[in-house]
Amino acid sequence: LIRWVKEGERRLLFCGVGLLFLKNTRMFRSLSRILRIGEETEPTSDSKKHSDAEEEHEFELPCPVPEIFTLTEQEDQRFREKLASNAKAAEGKEKTVEQEEHAFRKVIEEELAYAAQDHKDDKIFLASSRIQKLRQFIRTHKSEKSTVAKSCSPLAILQKMMDSNPIFKEIIAESERARKFLRKLELEEGWEVSHRGKKISSFWKEEKDSETYSFKVMGVVGNPMLNLIPLLLETDLYPNWFPMMASAEEVFSGSRFHKVVKSTMKMPFPLRIRECIIDGKGYDVMEHNRVVISSHSISEHPKVNIGKCPEDRVRVDISVGGFELIPVGNKRTHVTVMFNLNPHIPYLPSRIANFFLRHVVNQIHSSMEKHSTFKKDSPYLQCMAEKADLYNYIESRYEETRKSRKSGTFGK
């Protein structure tokens, strides 16, 4: 039976050709309207309240998260004031060596403590930027006249403190992980347009020298970002809204925004069920006006017994993927979804992959909008009530950054 199923997967090519033929027939178009295949769902009653002017309003996405954070004059001055204050506090020490070393050590300790707290709050880029800017300041100050010996230079002190605490290695590793996702997301070369509509645009790419495919869907969801976050946080409820997902089980929770999830995807006959063990983490990047969820598949984990894939399933490999949420005013959210994966389907023509993208993945945005318009019996409202502390923190963080942006005091 298993051999027959495996051979059946090779028939996907012929099934795909038949589907592409039917796609251009009147029968398929009529069936599409009935089953809503490949069509965006009707807007919800709440989204209909938006005026036509708001729906057609053009907005500019914020600048990408910079690869290198540059030390500003204001920040440089802040570091110098701290140095002077710390040096003054060490008046009893020899001014030429010990006083300067003490002043630098205090500045480094304070900034690394801030970075560790940012990491704890899942503000990964804020933590990374603190370390980068601290290095820049030390190098700038080092080029000036300094009496500190090389053996106890500020850079040596910084490196020693970072090596002694594994948190700072985690900051570097996680910031690189999030950047890997954003680089793939923001890269415009090589993408082919699959669909371009009023609300969403989708793209796909067959990666060279690999068996992986990439897809990207971007568009506006007619609900606030705070309504979308529960959909992404409550992983057990993913089958409610994510197309073709049959099950999702949280098998490990590293922190409030870090989860390992075992999920399965329903596939059309004769393909077997696809299974994936996903390690996902959410990042607060509100200093750059966005929330980022980065994920990838794993085959092993120190705290999870993953085991072998059952014979009636095929395990999918996801190299990188995730979501980017950017608030658009107070009522809408720009959502980008991107995944690079190997579905382990033999002889998958690019036309079939494009067909799958257009008629399945394109449903993500409309499904998110439908399920983020909470009704009284919504399971998400129950989850939010049970985890009131978590969702109150998210709301207060969102409102805090929103108000500080309006007043022009954000980041100061």
pLDDT the model gives residue 205: 82
Helix (H, G, I), strand (E, B) or coil at 59: coil
**Taking residues 232-238, what's their average pLDDT?**
94
| C-alpha distances in Å from residue 353, one per residue of 39, 186, 220, 356, 404 | 17, 21, 24, 5, 44
pTM: 0.77
Residue of 315 and 362 predicted with greater confidence: 315
Task: Kindly report which listed range (50-59, 178-187, 384-393) carries the lowest average pLDDT score.
Answer: 50-59
Instruction: Name the band, by pLDDT with cuts 50, 70 and 90, for residue 142.
Output: low
pLDDT the model gives residue 271: 81
Number of H helices, E strands in the chain: 15, 10
Helix (H, G, I), strand (E, B) or coil at 135: helix
Nearest CA to 40 out of 268, 233, 260, 219 is that of 219
Question: At residue 78, does pLDDT exceed 90?
Answer: no
**Taking residues 62-88, what's their average pLDDT?**
79
Cβ 104 vs Cβ 82: under 8 Å: no
**Taking residues 245-271, what's their average pLDDT?**
89
For strands 313-315 and 273-285, give the pairing: parallel
What is the number of alpha carbons within 13 Å of residue 359 lying toward its C-beta? 18
CA distance 220 to 177: 25
**Taking residues 76-100, what's their average pLDDT?**
70
209: left (phi over 0), alpha (psi -120 to 50) or beta: left
**Structure token digits, residue 199:** 């609300």
| DSSP class of 301 | B
Per residue, the 3-state secondary structure of 321-387, as one string, reads EEEEEEEECCCEEEEEEEEEEECCCCCCCHHHHHHHHHHHHCHHHHHHHHHCCCCCCCHHHHHHHHC
Nearest CA to 158 out of 178, 181, 132 is that of 132
Helix (H, G, I), strand (E, B) or coil at 235: helix
pLDDT the model gives residue 226: 94
| C-alpha distances in Å from residue 312, one per residue of 11, 175, 250, 273, 299 | 18, 37, 21, 7, 18
What tens digit of pLDDT does each residue of 328-345 get? Answer: 888 899 999 999 888 887
Question: At residue 46, does pLDDT exceed 60?
Answer: no
**Structure token digits, residue 81:** 């004031």
CA distance 279 to 24: 40
Nearest CA to 231 out of 356, 297, 323 is that of 323
What is the number of alpha carbons within 13 Å of residue 86 lying toward its C-beta? 19
Residue of 228 and 356 predicted with greater confidence: 228
Instruction: Name the band, by pLDDT with cuts 50, 70 and 90, for residue 286.
Output: confident
Cβ 147 vs Cβ 200: under 8 Å: no
pLDDT the model gives residue 353: 67
Task: Kindly report which listed range (88-97, 99-108, 332-341) carries the lowest average pLDDT score.
Answer: 88-97
How high is the mean pLDDT of the chain?
Answer: 79
